[in-house]
Amino acid sequence: VVLCISPWNFPLAIFLGQVTAAVAAGNTVIAKPAEQTSLIAIRAIELWRDAGLPAGVVELTIAPGRIIGEHVVPDLRIQAVMFTGSTETGSWIARKLAERGGEPVPLIAETGGQNCMIVDSTALPEQVVDDVVSSGFQSAGQRCSALRVLFLQEDVADKIIHMIKGAMKELHVGDPSLLSTDVGPVIDQKALTGLTAHVKYLEGKAKLHYECPIPAGEGHFFFAPRLYEIANLAVLQREVFGPVVHIIRFKAEQLDDVIAQINATGYGLTMGVHSRIAEVTAQVAREVKAGNIYVNRNMIGAVVGVQPFGGRGLSGTGPKAGGPFYLTRLIKDNLQVTEAPLAEDKKASLLAASGHDNALQQSLQLAAKAQVDWQKKDITARSSVMRQFLAQLASNAVVVKQEADLAQVLASARGLIGHIEKELAAPIQLPGPTGESNQLHLEARGVVACIRDESACFKYWILSVLTALAAGNAVVAVVEDKDFAEAEAVRKVLLNANLQPALFVVAKLTQLKALISNPLVAAAVIEAGSAVKALTGELIAARDGAISPLVTTPADERLLHRLVTEKTVTINTTAAGGNASLMTMSDNAV
């Protein structure tokens, strides 16, 4: 049974997207639509049943989220959860699911965003204005993908601000049933109160460039679209879910700093960039940690199968809705799992350990830094290191002595490397209209913990290490004291194969709490039958911030997709206005 929790802002599209995916994968569904728009869900299911949906396959539950959280989420019959909503609620669901123990319950969460757009001095101003207005104010700014922060290069900022203000003067706020209306009300009083509080908060912290007029009177939820200017991203403490765009000016040479600011928010849902310099758009698309990148077009209106939608970090877990890996999370990875028992004294010892380790913290920081450059390497370069590693591991005395089935493990590893090379050789080309390019890129998660206790086997552990590294991640290998020498031998072989030292760190199981509690760890991989699986799941779910996965997927071709994140890059190929490469040529170029 899959629990589907959908929002009010797309009461039909997201509701049906979740439910139909779950049903298509062979599940039954408890569907919890938003209270504000539940009539749409009721009618949709009525029509579906008229079309032949069997009784009991989809059951609607119309109730406050708190009731669902208390009574449905903890129910052991719920075997997966699909959720669209706030980051805080998504994290709460992850914790409740982890408290069950056993196999990790799949959670597909699409949460908040601090969506930004970067505009440089080469961008076409008219197109920028059109895309800012549609991305920031359409649907009263109540889309997950809506524009919140507009970075304008200072050379063109005044001109573009003047043009945006002119466009906003033409917006009509009013009854959404009228064709003359451009912007309707926000959803309810709670939303209006929150937006009004944000206006109050910005007093003295921001410059108001323009505020649209709204209908007079009371008893409505109209909120005036506003255009502000702020000094930097730190002014915004959280996502503002409504028709408010915040401008930040930047100098041409500050692009790297702008990208760093955006990534530092921890959010990663949508991102826009307007530039006719290919190197600029390529850098933004490559370096910004967002799920959907839009180049020289608006940032809203993702189409299923064309722009698979979903974020990373504080913005979601993946896999992307409408993407090729969505249904795979709705089927079980492991059908029969026998978990080794964890002795109470061992559990108590692991929990009693310090939650902070200075040496480990330093190693994680170095690993995270090294991982950025490692991910940039071509997959053939990374796989070459892995192949050299496997060749040398075959004759390593320490490993050969401890692992009787090493030859079979190495054969599986070589096959896995071949599969990873094919999967990561090029981005997935997606369909789309003429004049638009859509690609799905698979990128490394970051730092991955590969955990092996005494109940787990060498084969799973080494294949998970290999997959994580080949995918572009850094790895922290966590082992029992008795396996520490073997893990260090593996590390030595990796370094001999030219792996950068910071990319593979060996830690002891006694450091598990300090490691998993650290937000630099983006995912943890552990064999399904491991005795410390449930404990690891609780530790990773207890963290504040991004929802990070505990991965128990078998160490075969399926594992790769759990150790990468998806990024959709959509490019308006008609918007360059000519040969964009000419704009980057020096004066004396031939």
**What pLDDT digit, counting tens, does each position of 538-572 carry?**
999 999 999 999 999 999 999 999 999 999 999 99
CA distance 514 to 217: 56
- Is 144 annotated in the active site? yes
Residue 175 scores a pLDDT above 70: yes
Residue 328 scores a pLDDT above 60: yes
For residue 531, the model assigns a pLDDT of 97
For residue 330, the model assigns a pLDDT of 97
For the chain, give every domain's residue range. 2-110, 116-266+268-296+575-584, 343-565
CA distance 386 to 380: 10
For residue 33, the model assigns a pLDDT of 97
Options 3.40.605.10, 3.40.50.300, 3.30.70.260, 3.40.50.2000; CATH for 2-110 is 3.40.605.10
CA distance 333 to 450: 18
For residue 370, the model assigns a pLDDT of 98
Mean pLDDT value across the chain = 95
Question: Which tens digits make up the pLDDT trace of 11-59?
Answer: 999 999 999 999 999 999 999 999 999 999 999 999 999 999 999 999 9
* pLDDT bucket at 576, cuts 50 / 70 / 90: low
Which range is least confidently modeled, 212-221, 433-442, 473-482, 542-551? Answer: 212-221
Phi, psi of 223 (to 5 degrees): -125, 130
**Amino acid letter, 155:** D
Phi, psi of 269 (to 5 degrees): -100, -80
Paired residues of 59 in beta bridges: 30
For residue 568, the model assigns a pLDDT of 98
CB 567, CB 291: distance < 8 Å: yes
Tell me the percentage of the chain whose pLDDT exceeds 70: 97
Write the DSSP string, 173-242: BS-TTSTT-SB---SSHHHHHHHHHHHHHHTTTSEEEEE-----SSS------EEEE-S-GGG--S---S
For residue 577, the model assigns a pLDDT of 54
CA distance 27 to 92: 24
For residue 575, the model assigns a pLDDT of 84
CA distance 293 to 302: 11
Whether the domain at 2-110 and the domain at 343-565 fall into the same CATH topology: yes
Joined together, the tokens standing for residue 289 give: 């940690």
Mean pLDDT of 474-486: 97
Residue 583 scores a pLDDT above 90: no
Instruction: Point out the catalytic residue in the list 103, 110, 239, 486.
Output: 110
Question: Is beta strand 207-211 parallel, antiparallel or unpaired with respect to 226-229?
Answer: antiparallel
User: What is the CATH T-level fold of the domain 343-565, as seen in this structure?
Assistant: Aldehyde Dehydrogenase; Chain A, domain 1 (3.40.605)
pTM summary value: 0.94
Mean pLDDT of 152-169: 98
For residue 217, the model assigns a pLDDT of 85
CA distance 172 to 184: 9
Question: Which tens digits make up the pLDDT trace of 103-150?
Answer: 999 999 999 899 999 999 999 999 999 999 999 999 999 999 999 999
DSSP state of 395: T
Position of tokens 């921001």?
206
Question: Which tens digits make up the pLDDT trace of 376-407?
Answer: 999 999 999 999 999 999 999 999 999 999 99
For residue 578, the model assigns a pLDDT of 45
**CA nearest to 317, candidates 516, 145, 534, 106:** 106
CA distance 68 to 32: 8
For residue 336, the model assigns a pLDDT of 87
For residue 335, the model assigns a pLDDT of 85
**CA nearest to 108, candidates 14, 172, 228:** 14
Cβ atoms within 10 A of the Cβ of 227, count?
A: 25
Instruction: Point out the catalytic residue in the list 4, 103, 116, 144.
Output: 144
- Is 110 annotated in the active site? yes
Options 3.40.309.10, 3.30.360.10, 3.30.470.20, 3.40.50.970; CATH for 116-266+268-296+575-584 is 3.40.309.10
Three-state secondary-structure class, residue 170? coil
Residue 581 scores a pLDDT above 90: no
Residue 191 scores a pLDDT above 50: yes
Sign of CA dihedral 232, 233, 237, 238: positive
CA distance 10 to 34: 10
CA distance 457 to 460: 6
CB 536, CB 550: distance < 8 Å: yes
**CA nearest to 299, candidates 273, 262, 268:** 273
Mean pLDDT of 351-373: 96
CA distance 266 to 290: 9
Sign of CA dihedral 6, 7, 12, 13: negative
